[in-house]
Amino acid sequence: MHVVITGASRGIGHALAELYQTRGAQVTGTSRAGGNGLLPLDVSDAGAFVGFGAALGGQTVDLLVCNAGIYPDKGQNMADGYPAQMWADTFATNVTGVFLTIQSLLPNLKLSQSPKIAIISSQMASDTRAPGGSYIYRASKAAVLNLGRNLAVDLRPLDIAVGIYHPGWVQTDMGGSAADITVDQAAQGLAARFDALDMADSGCFRTWAGDEHPF
C-alpha cells in the first residue's frame, strides 16, 4: 500500500505518516522545504506540482491524504484585520492546493485497485457552526468541503472514493494545548475512517471518531 500525505512534517500529517509506516505501508510525505525523508511541495505554488509529479513517476498511489493547511487569521479583528493577501494565501493552500494535489496524482491513483482520497477539512466548514470570527479559515474549509463533495461525483466513474474529514480539535500548534484530543488519537481515528472509506461512502463528511458531520 502506498500512502501519500501532504503536510507531513508535523502535527496530524506527521502522526499519520508514522502510523502508516508502522503498518508496513510505503509512505510518501511532503513539506514545504522537504528534507528528513519528505518530498518538497509547497501546495500554494502551482509550479511545484511539476516536480512533484515527476518525483512519483509511475508509482501507484492507493491513498492520498490532503492534509496540508494553514490557519493564519486566528485572532484577527474586524476593524483592520483579515487583509486581502491573507485570504489569497489561505485559499491557495487550503483549497487550490488540495485540487492541484489531486489533479497531479490522478494518474497514480488510477493505477490502484482501490484508490482513495482523504481531504482534511474541519467542523468549522459546517454552516451549523457559525460562532463568528476566523472568517478566512472557515471559508476555506467550507470551500474544500464543497470541492471534495463535487470531486466525489466526478471521480465515481473512475472508482476513486473521496472522503472529507473533521480531524477533531487536536493538540497541535494549530489547535493549541487546550484542545480535546492528542495528535495520536486523531491519527488513529482518521486512519480507521480511511480504512472504512469505499465507493458507497464516497462524498461523506465524517469526524475522526466516525460520526457523520452535518454539512
Q: What is the pTM of this model?
A: 0.94
pLDDT for 173 beyond 70: no
* Cross-sheet strand order for the sheet of 116-120: 39-40, 26-31, 2-5, 63-66, 116-120, 161-166, 204-207
Distance between CA atoms of 54 and 195, rounded to whole angstroms? 28
pLDDT in tens, 90-147: 999 999 999 999 999 999 999 999 999 999 999 889 888 778 899 999 999 999 999 9
Domains contained in the chain, CATH given: 2-207 (3.40.50.720)
pLDDT of residue 70: 96
In terms of average pLDDT, the best of 64-68, 169-173, 182-186, 210-214 is: 64-68
